Structure 1
Amino acid sequence: MKKQTLLPAGILMIAIVFHFRAMAQQPVPVASNLTDVTVFLNGALVSREGSVSLEPGTRELLFSGLPAEINAQSVQVQGTGNITILSVNYQINYLKSPEENQQIKVLKDSLQLLQNMVNLKKSALTVCDEEEAFLKSNRSIGGTNTGVNIADLKAADEFIRARFAETGRLRISLSKEISDLNEQITRISNQLNNLSNLNQPTGEVRVKIMCPSKTKASLRLSYLVNNASWTPEYDLRAEDPSKPVELVYKGSIVQNTGEDWNNVHLTLSTGNPSLGGAKPELNIWFLDFYYPQPARILKSAKAEAVPETSEMVIENDEVVARGYGTMHKLTGTEPAVTGSSYTEFSENQTMALYSINLPATVPSDGKPQLVEIRKEKPDAMFIHYAAPKLDPDAFLVARITGWEKLNLLPGNANVFFEGTYTGQSYLNPGAIGDTLDVSLGRDKGINLRRERIKEFTSRQSLGSSRKDTRGFEITVRNNKKVPVSLMLQDQIPVPVNKDISVDPVEISGGNLEKQTGKITWNLKLAPSESKTLRLVYEVKYPKNRQVILE
């Protein structure tokens, strides 16, 4: 009897021991919240904070529901409290999907509502079908031994016709409503397919700690994710030539990391961790005679495509804006406060940092979120520029100096003048000189005319040579009520063959740059003042050859 009673008791004791041992081996979950995000030009450093109550001994803590695209080498854990961090490991959990964000939940609720509405409409169609079937099966009236009087027949006919007409109209209306609802369901389903992360794994960080006594520990987890970036964008605003230019520095943030950044402290950094920080090393460059190898002929049914190359040319360090649109000014005493008022700028040896002291939210949807981070008013001088050979209009240009102190990065710039959007340009600090020229648009207050002078348009043969002469007259008039400074440019051809020579005959005091053939006139025009310039040049070349001139 004792053996029969001791055996179940022993099994129970063993089960209790294994239960508590299994409980001791289970990691302690840490509930954490996003607090800080530093976005780089490629990648982002995300920080989380959480706290947990611990019993004495060695424990394993678990941060779960993290993005799957974490750089494992970047994971760091810091803690406060009477604990010792023994190890930190990052792993991917393929059995758990990320939590759905609010946008996905709203879309799913809308999809369910639309499907319920479709089901109701289909039920109404079924009722129409049953009513029509009932009417068809009860068309015959009266008995087999009695006839039907004309009044009853007419009434029955009118009733059946009216019901068939009503059910037909209802069927058409319900079918149209079902079709419209299905279109909405298709659009929402496509959007859900783009946003859904149900089949994606999640990341988790396991932290092994040791605590000598019961304590409450605070932990900070940071890691680098790759699916995030920011790009600079600019607004260049000029209200009046007598006022300084305003340069608005913006950051366009995009992230698709799998977790929403809700109410976080956001910092934009000009650093790029993906480039690496290891300095380059020069290896020995061995030099020997070159022995060309015989070319091999490859027989193929299709020729291999040669990739195309493109070249970007920048002329005169000038940024040209195209397009027009008007922005109406709002009346008021003070302009609205923007994000740049809450942004702190700092700079270290390798990067610049823009810390935004307002809670920011950036969802994980791959859509750009624009934040304003800085405003500057660099020194600028306004001039007019014209090249009548290419365009009959004059352009107002802001010549910005001191831009190299602004830590600019390459990016698109929206140009505004007097509240009017004049177009988009591209700022590339690495390709411009000491002065940044920004075109603010056309100025119709200056008239230009470039005409060919007939008496200076000729061709002569001199022995074995031929001489072509071209002449142009350029007329400029200032119709504005204020004096203007105009930089006017034209050109003569630059020969690339020693048998061709180009000689300027008359340039009306312009400055000729021989290497480029550009001629520049810096004119001062009083109100209603006109000036006329002449450009005449000669081209000599062998008589048996041909050149093309304008």
Structure 2
Amino acid sequence: MSTGTEAPPSFEPNSISLVSVEDSKISSISLYSSRAEITRIFRFSVKIGLNQVNINGLPNVLDQASLRVEGTGDATIHDVTISSIPPPEKPTTSPKLEELLRQKKATEQSIDRCSLAINSLQTYLGTLNVKDVAVSEVANIVKTYQKTGEELDNQINKLRDQLEKTDAQINTERKNLTGPTENQDLMMKVAVGVFASEEGEVEFRLIYAVHRASWQALYDVRVDVHSKEKPVELTYKASITQSTGEDWKDIDLTLETAEPTFGVDIPRLFPWTISAYRPTLGGFKKRSVAVPLVATRALASAALLGGPAGGSSDIEFRSEMRQQEAFVNSKGNITATFGVPGKINIPSDGATHNVTIIKLNLEATMHWVTVPKQEAKTHLSAKIKNASDYTFLAGQASIYVNGSFIARIGIPPVSPEESFECPLGLDSSVRVTYHPRTRKTSRSGFYSKITTQVYTQHITVNNTKTTAVNDLKVTDQFPVSDDSTVTVKQLNPGLPNVNKELMPGEIKIPEPLKVSPGVFAQWSGADEPDINVELLGRDGKFDWICSVPPQGKIDLLLQYEVISPSRAEITGL
């Protein structure tokens, strides 16, 4: 047995310095709507015992609470700390720089002296008088002036060239003093204490979240209205922006986010009420017509990143775990995860970079909507079914109909197998005429005089297409009285009074009323999925659902009567 003693192990930590952008590679990025989660891989050798690993050059926009350190190897992480890197002190002058500055000053003074000499020569020439100078001497004076001026000009040009060279040398010397310009956006530092039981190579995975990175969904929707099978080609894109200070080079990118809903710009009918003037001591009192405000709703949510704080201790390295590979993981109509195919590059320039996620051919049904009381125009719309595994996030879409750009609209969040409305602009081939309204007035009664006014409104729809328009919705309304002395009777179309015909507790949606061949009438909202039957028809709004043959025409009739006291002046009509 040997009786010799072995040297005790050293307790001085082994220092390892790494620069993030030079000594590691980004393995993956999960990009959210307002920030990104980045995974960086470091590989380096450690010695037995304590190793102090310093990683410099991390982004200033790093979320410190999100920092995690993982890895593989026979070692244990003892502590993780994060801090900012103070700017290094750099010299501002040197003997060479001071000498160059002196040369520059001397050259500038020489240029000033030459300029002053030229000015003095010109002043002298200007003071000569014919009485003092003989004619025979004028030629010699002019020749001497030209020669002296030329010599001074040449001297000034040489001095200016010399000044230019000196300025260039000064700039070079100042750059040598300050050294290369550092990226001021990468001034964070992470220190990790690692205790290794044996010497060898280990792998670090540094995972952290950064701000100033985002993406939005974009779409190109191309519709062929003449195609009967899958008339919609939808290109799903991602618009990516980042200015984190790190360039994302040759990375695997995963997109995750949630976006708000949108509204469709089709004219709306507001409540239409009528009432009567009532005489008062001060004259007539006019009852006001209330027009409610229309409120829009916006759904907004954000996907959150999280992770343990940086000061964890005794975190053991774990073996590398295989992750389930999923190109698309749809989680509903709010959140979704997409794996962008291939490797991509996104520099830290704050510019917009578009990548294509997928192109889809989708089924759609076309329908037309017109509100001729507001505008005699016909809107074309498509109900598109998302028959894919992708969740559509809310985003802007460029709409093309038969190859022509129509509009830029918003698309709502749409889950797989869900449908959404896509406005396709105006269809000028379906022409609507809202004829002038007519009125007939009659009076009756012996003691209590009553005035009855019958209003008639004609609407003509002309289909100039060579194909039928099978789903045209024409929206109009009856007036609604909020005065007990004024009665409105709906004559045509004779839609049922839902509120009176329903039994207590009964919920029944009335069937559409057939008006004429290919024309049905119903209360507005009767075909909506979340209809409130008790409110159906209460606002007087209704729809004609029409099928118009090719090159065909249909006539629609709206008729109602208003009954009021003879001397009442009706407002709102």
Please state which band the TM-score falls in when normalised by the shorter chain. Answer: 0.5 to 0.7
Task: Measure how far apart 1:46 and its partner are.
Answer: 0.4
Unmatched runs of 5 consecutive residues or more in structure 2: 1-9, 90-107, 151-180, 260-292, 299-325, 494-514, 524-536
Is contact 1:94-1:201 (8 Å) kept?
no
Q: 1:222 to 1:21 in 2, by over 3 A?
A: same
Task: Measure how far apart 1:381 and its partner are.
Answer: 1.0
Q: 1:536 corresponds to which residue?
A: 559
1:422 alignment partner, one of 403, 406, 415:
406
Q: 1:492 to 1:69 in 2, by over 3 A?
A: same
Is contact 1:266-1:359 (8 Å) kept?
yes
2:540 alignment partner, one of 517, 539, 542:
517
Q: 1:54 corresponds to which residue?
A: 46
Q: 2:72 corresponds to which residue?
A: 80
Q: SS state of the match for residue 133, structure 1?
A: helix
Larger radius of gyration: 2
Q: SS state of the match for residue 383, structure 2?
A: strand
Is contact 2:481-2:488 (8 Å) kept?
no
CA distance in 1, matches of 2:444, 2:136: 117
Q: SS state of the match for residue 139, structure 1?
A: helix
Q: 1:212 corresponds to which residue?
A: 197
CA distance in 2, matches of 1:502, 1:405: 52
Q: SS state of the match for residue 480, structure 2?
A: coil
Q: 2:572 corresponds to which residue?
A: 548
Q: 2:251 corresponds to which residue?
A: 264
CA distance in 2, matches of 1:348, 1:505: 51
Q: 1:393 to 1:219 in 2, by over 3 A?
A: same
Q: 1:390 corresponds to which residue?
A: 374
Is contact 2:35-2:210 (8 Å) kept?
yes
Q: 1:473 to 1:92 in 2, by over 3 A?
A: same
> Number of residues paired by the alignment?
406
Q: 1:529 to 1:51 in 2, by over 3 A?
A: same
Letter matched to residue 231 of structure 2? P
CA distance in 1, matches of 2:81, 2:134: 94
Deviations 1:499-524 (A, max 9, x none): 25432222355413114433322322
Q: Alignment RMSD, CA only?
A: 4.3
1:245 alignment partner, one of 226, 232, 236:
232
2:83 alignment partner, one of 77, 85, 91:
91
Is contact 1:488-1:522 (8 Å) kept?
yes
Deviations 1:277-312 (A, max 9, x none): xxxxxxxxxxxxxxxxxxxxxxxxxxxxxxxx9822
Task: Measure how far apart 1:234 and its partner are.
Answer: 2.2
Q: 1:37 to 1:501 in 2, by over 3 A?
A: farther
CA distance in 2, matches of 1:430, 1:498: 44
CA distance in 1, matches of 2:297, 2:50: 65
How do 1:374-453 and structure 2 match up within 5 A? Answer: 374-402=358-386, 406-429=390-413, 435-453=419-437
CA distance in 2, matches of 1:312, 1:271: 19
2:344 alignment partner, one of 343, 351, 360:
360
Is contact 2:371-2:476 (8 Å) kept?
no
CA distance in 2, matches of 1:422, 1:67: 43
Matched, 1:502 2:494: no
Letter matched to residue 512 of structure 1? Q
Is contact 1:63-1:204 (8 Å) kept?
yes
Deviations 1:230-278 (A, max 9, x none): 2222222113331521222222223232322222211101379xxxxxx
CA distance in 1, matches of 2:294, 2:467: 44
Q: 1:197 to 1:421 in 2, by over 3 A?
A: farther
Q: 1:464 to 1:74 in 2, by over 3 A?
A: farther
Is contact 1:96-1:201 (8 Å) kept?
no
Q: 1:459 to 1:70 in 2, by over 3 A?
A: farther
2:215 alignment partner, one of 212, 221, 230:
230
Deviations 1:471-509 (A, max 9, x none): 221112222222222413132245362625432222355
Q: SS state of the match for residue 60, structure 2?
A: coil
Is contact 1:38-1:44 (8 Å) kept?
yes
1:29 alignment partner, one of 2, 10, 18:
18
Q: 1:134 to 1:530 in 2, by over 3 A?
A: farther
CA distance in 2, matches of 1:546, 1:128: 97
Q: 1:471 corresponds to which residue?
A: 456
Deviations 1:127-146 (A, max 9, x none): 99679637624626899986
CA distance in 1, matches of 2:52, 2:442: 93
Task: Measure how far apart 1:411 and its partner are.
Answer: 2.2
Deviations 1:416-440 (A, max 9, x none): 1122221122222489x96522221
Matched, 1:136 2:122: yes
CA distance in 1, matches of 2:432, 2:258: 48
Is contact 2:231-2:361 (8 Å) kept?
yes
Q: 1:90 to 1:459 in 2, by over 3 A?
A: farther
Is contact 1:249-1:375 (8 Å) kept?
yes
CA distance in 2, matches of 1:533, 1:479: 17
CA distance in 2, matches of 1:383, 1:271: 29
Q: SS state of the match for residue 63, structure 1?
A: strand
Q: SS state of the match for residue 119, structure 2?
A: helix
Letter matched to residue 233 of structure 2? E
CA distance in 2, matches of 1:345, 1:128: 77
Is contact 1:49-1:220 (8 Å) kept?
yes
CA distance in 2, matches of 1:127, 1:459: 108
Q: 1:384 to 1:348 in 2, by over 3 A?
A: closer
Q: 1:527 to 1:269 in 2, by over 3 A?
A: same
Q: 1:199 to 1:221 in 2, by over 3 A?
A: closer
Give percent identity, aligned residues only. Answer: 23
How do 1:164-313 and structure 2 match up within 5 A? Answer: 202-242=187-227, 243-270=230-257, 311-312=295-296
Matched, 1:346 2:329: yes
Is contact 2:14-2:50 (8 Å) kept?
no
TM superposition score normalised by structure 1: 0.62
Q: Which has the higher helix share?
A: 1
Letter matched to residue 250 of structure 2? N
